[in-house]
Amino acid sequence: MQNLENITKDIRIRNYKISDYQDTLEILKDLHETYGLTLNKKQWTKSSGLRQFKPNLKRITLVVELKSTGKVIGMGVIESLKNVYGESTGYLNNWAIRKENIGQHVGKMLADNAIEILKSWGCKSIRINLGYGVPEKLINVFGHAGFKPIMIVLEKNVEETDKDEEKNKKLKNQDSLDKKYHDHKLITSNR
């Protein structure tokens, strides 16, 4: 493990390239296994990290690379979304650092770089969405960087609800068919 001074000199923060896919997937898998964070492999594809610029959205994925080895040791997706009033809010998403590099200020350097980019995009505020039940230690880390809790978000997964309703509908149809078959058998056996 490199000491703190050496690692900070050895770091390059740059835009994601398709060739970073395997490294970033490994980092996300690691976080998924360690902290139970959701990883949807169908959503994180080779091109997921590429730049996106739309009228109300700017998005890039930044990676942290060791200059000496070219190894990707961290990543984060930054987004700028405009609301209906034309005001931009920045978001730090999918922030992930390799386990062996946690505590070496890699995440802070990545965040500082990301914040500067978001400010240059005109963002007046920057948000980090954390999963419910995240360790308090993590909230404190972000608190030291100036982030404060401002809201609680409740979410309903309608896709799952739709699947459940569809499943129930199929079960009812099957029950109905079973009942018709059973009734038909009763009628024909009583003749």
Average pLDDT over residues 97-111: 89
Q: How far apart are CA 92 and CA 110, in angstroms?
A: 10
Same domain? 105 vs 140: yes
Beta pairing class for 123-128 and 88-97: parallel
Q: How far apart are CA 62 and CA 60, in angstroms?
A: 6
Enter the tokens of residue 2. Answer: 């490199």
Q: Which structural domain, as residue segments, surrounds residue 186?
A: 156-191
Same domain? 148 vs 160: no
Lowest mean pLDDT across 85-94, 104-113, 125-134, 178-187: 178-187
Quick one: pLDDT at residue 45? 64
Same domain? 23 vs 94: yes
Same domain? 134 vs 61: yes
Same domain? 177 vs 147: no
Dihedral sign for Cα atoms in the order 16, 146, 32, 59? negative
Q: How far apart are CA 146 and CA 86, in angstroms?
A: 24
User: Has residue 114 got a pLDDT over 90?
Assistant: yes
User: Across all residues in the chain, what is the average pLDDT?
Assistant: 81
Same domain? 53 vs 73: yes
Contacts of 79 (CB under 8 A, 6+ apart): 57, 58, 59, 90, 91, 93
Average pLDDT over residues 69-82: 93
Same domain? 140 vs 183: no
Q: How far apart are CA 128 and CA 147, in angstroms?
A: 8
Confidence of residue 178 (pLDDT cuts 50, 70, 90): low
Same domain? 67 vs 128: yes
For position 135, which CATH number holds?
3.40.630.30
User: Has residue 12 got a pLDDT over 90?
Assistant: yes
What total number of domains does the chain contain? Answer: 2
Confidence of residue 9 (pLDDT cuts 50, 70, 90): confident
Q: Is the pTM higher than 0.75?
A: no
Same domain? 177 vs 146: no
Same domain? 72 vs 105: yes
Lowest mean pLDDT across 4-8, 32-36, 82-86, 94-98: 32-36
Quick one: pLDDT at residue 47? 61
Same domain? 112 vs 129: yes
